[in-house]
Structure formats: C-alpha cells, structure tokens
Amino acid sequence: MSQLTHDELIQIRRHLHQIPELALEEYQTHDYLLEVIKQFDQTYLTIRVPKELPTAVMVRVAGTNPRRTIGYRTDIDALPVTEQTGLPYASQMPGKMHACGHDIHMTVALGLLSYYSEHQPIDNLLFFFQPAEESKNGGKLAYELGLFTGEWCPDEFYGLHDNPELPAGAIGCRMGTLFAGTTEVNVDIQGQGGHAAFPQNAKDAVVAAASLITQAQTIVSRSIDPIQSGVLTLGKLEAGTIRNVIADHARIEGTIRGLTQPMIEKIGQRLQTICDGIATSFEVDVKLELNQGGYWPVENNADLTSHLIAFMQANPKITFIETAPAMTGEDFGFLLAKFPGTMFWLGVEDDAQLHAPTLTPDERAIDRGIEAITQFINYRMQENYLLEE
Ligand SMILES: CC(=O)N[C@@H](CCC[C@H](N)C(=O)O)C(=O)O
C-alpha cells in the first residue's frame, strides 16, 4: 500500500470507530493498527511491539541524514460511554465509544506514517501509538517501562488532541500550559446498614455521601482564588441495593483539575478536610484516595512551541487559532515533563463536546490535520538541518 488516500483514511477511521476498547485492553485496535502499518512500504520502517506494554505500537522511520529523532504520539483507547450518534459505523462494542476522538488521532498518525513510509524524512521519526490515555497512565507507564531508550528516545515530542469547538482542520495551540493536571478521586464511605424504618439504628452511607458531595462543591467556589481556576467533578456515585434497606457503603469517584500543581494539591487537601468532617459528623469511616498518576499539567516547551505557532500562523493554508488553557487532562503532560515538545489541538467542528455520546467529529479534519502536521515536521527537519550545517 502506498500513501493512504482520502477514502482509505476515512475507511480506517470508521473501522477504528467501530472497535473502541478501554485502557490497556486495546488488543483489537492494536492488531488493526499493525495490520495497516504492515501494508506500508517497510524500507525505512522498524516496527516494535513492546512486550511490557502489549497493546502499544512503536514505529521508527529512519532518516536520510538524522540529527535527531522527532517523536509523534497518538492515544488509542476509548471511553465507557454508550454511543448515541445513530451513525452507520457506530461502535460495535456495547457501552464503549471513541467519545474523545482517539479514532481521529490514530487515523491522523497513520496518515503521517504512510506519508513518511513513501517520503524518507531527513531526521528519524518515532511514532508512538499509546494505550491508556483516559485512565491508567499509559504515557507514564511507557516511560517507566523504559520504552523511550536508545534509538527509541525522542529528542522532541509532539501530539494532538481533537477539539469540537474549533473549525475542522484548524490547529489550536498556546505557549505555556495547554491542559490541566488531573487527579483521580475515590471516596469510600463505610457506615452501618439497617432497616429503612429504623434509621436511628444505622449509619446511613447515602446521606453521608450526599452531604460530602454538597460540601465538596464549596471548595472551588469558597476556597480558591476566583482569579485562578480549579475543578472538582464527582462523576460517579454508587450506593445501596434496594429502597427499604439503609445502605452501609457508598463510593464516589471523581476528578480534580488545576492548571498548576499547587492548585491541584490545595483542592485535594480541602477535600481531605471535608472527608474528615463527614466522618465525624455522620459517625462513618471515610477513606479518600487521590491518584494523579501521569496526568501532569501539559506544559508546552517554549522554544518548540514558538516554532510551531510561528509556522502555523505563517502558512496561509492553515487556520491557526491561539487557544486558552483547557481543563481537560492528558497524560502527554507526563511525557512533556520528560521530553521537550508541544501538544496542540486539531479542530473537529461539532456541536457535541468531548466525552458526549453524540460526538461526531468532522472527518475533513483528518486530511487537513495530516497536511498541516506533515508540513510542520518537514519544516522542522529542514530548519534543524540548516541550523546545524
Ligand atoms: C482529553 C481528555 O478528555 N482527557 C481525559 C483524561 C483523564 C484524566 C484522569 N483519568 C482523570 O479523570 O482525572 C480527561 O478527562 O480530561
């Protein structure tokens, strides 16, 4: 297979859309990615399936006169969301959906890789198809497993995220922090069950959970400087078995977001204080678990990002939009703390937002994204080459 055509890209994206898989379970996706990659001309490619992270795929493209290795990362996992788009190519995996557009991300990466399998780059390229972005820290795992060592170490690293609020194919970026850091929150409340008719003999975990949730919502509104930003969303609550039994246990799961580490830590500390207060006032046990993993704030490297922005702005064929920081999280933040690089948005123009069951990215973004990124990588390689001649 030569460079992927528009029709092939659309077909690949729609196939990927039909087989969404959750973090670290992306086996079908992995096999399909390999199947596509193996059809490219292999002359310049080396494919690696790391046994330590079996759903990942890494591909090196050997450069003609390499001065460095330019990394490009795409995430490959999906979300536990039941799709409601009604599309003919909707998810065939019950309860799972590419509701964050990682099918678009993968297709753009495959488009880039197919281009460079036909047009040997000057520098080496490293493509990293990363499992587990939505949870379970795929980026951090890969780093800690030593996947980026030796010839697999990028000198600079790029990655994108799709953005329904930007026009299809537009590139969005900013200097400094692009995305928030996030911390996963788990709260377990252990009370004492009993008969609905005799609350005086029980310790109701549902009432304690309700109060905890309401108090937690005062953290951002009352404890945080309004000029700064933070988020605490408690997205999951489980308790009880039937209406007439007082629940002995409740579990709350959520996420803290902040643009700086001190902000994330402050929200976590306030939440701990509230949990301790709930334990005292409701006479229940409350266990709070905070796990940041690799979801560090996405800090774009100043030098590389100024190059990327200047290039995109100067190119009349590319719509470039300078964006504000977003409270979305990304474990690419961890990798950007280890390797200089830049994350940017790719517009996919849709009314639905990321993680919505109706998300329908505009597929025109695929060709436009591939075009803009290829041009940037080519410029970057030429630039490096000229500077060091
Ligand atoms: C781009 C995006 O939507 N990313 C996810 C990352 C999840 C972070 C982590 N598991 C958490 O929820 O704290 C997001 O929800 O922003």
Pairing of strands 156-163, 341-347: parallel
Return the pLDDT at 2.
73
Domain ranges across the chain: 6-178+297-388, 181-291
Write down the pLDDT at residue 386.
Answer: 63
Identify the burial level of 171 via C-beta atoms within 10 angstroms of its C-beta, where 0-12 means exposed, 13-18 middle and 19 or more buried.
buried
Q: Is 246 in the pocket of ligand 1 (CB under 6 A)?
A: no
Per-residue pLDDT of the chain (389 residues; tens, 9 = 90+): 678 999 999 999 999 999 999 999 999 999 999 999 999 999 999 999 999 999 999 999 999 999 999 999 999 999 999 999 999 999 999 999 999 999 999 999 999 999 999 999 999 999 999 999 999 999 999 999 999 999 999 999 999 999 999 999 999 999 999 999 999 999 999 999 999 999 999 999 999 999 999 999 999 999 999 999 999 999 999 999 999 999 999 999 999 999 999 999 999 999 999 999 999 999 999 999 999 999 999 999 999 999 999 999 999 999 999 999 999 999 999 999 999 999 999 999 999 999 999 999 999 999 999 999 999 999 999 976 665 55
Question: Can you tell me the distance from the alpha carbon of 56 to that of 353, in angstroms, rounded to the nearest whole number?
Answer: 27
Q: What's the fold here for domain 6-178+297-388?
A: Aminopeptidase (3.40.630)
Please pick, among 26, 77, 133, 134, the residue that the annotation labels catalytic: 134
Task: For residue 151, report the distance from its CA to the centre of ligand 1, in Å.
Answer: 30
102 among annotated binding-site residues: yes
In this prediction the pTM is 0.94
Q: Which pLDDT score, from 0 to 100, does residue 383 have?
A: 76
Q: How far is the CA of 170 from the centre of ligand 1 (A)?
A: 22
- 75 among known catalytic residues: yes
Ligand 1 atom at minimum distance from 100 CA: 3
If DSSP states are collapsed to H, E and C, what string results for 347-369? ECCCCCCCCCCCCCCCCHHHHHH
Q: If you ran DSSP here, which 8-state letter would residue 220 be given?
A: I
CB under 8 Å to 232, separation ≥6 — which residues? 185, 216, 217, 219, 220, 254, 255, 256, 257, 267, 271
Task: Evaluate: CB of 134 within 6 angstroms of ligand 1.
Answer: yes
What SS3 state is found at 251? strand
* Domain formed by 181-291, architecture: 2-Layer Sandwich (3.30)
* 163 C-beta closer than 6 A to ligand 1: no
Residues 299 and 332: beta-carbon distance below 8 Å = no
β-bridge mates for residue 257, sequence order:
182, 231
**Which of 162, 255, 298 is the best mutation target for the ligand 1 pocket, counting ligand atoms within 8 Å of the beta carbon and taking the most?**
255
Tell me, yes or no, if 165 is annotated catalytic. no
Instruction: Indicate if ipTM > 0.85.
Output: yes
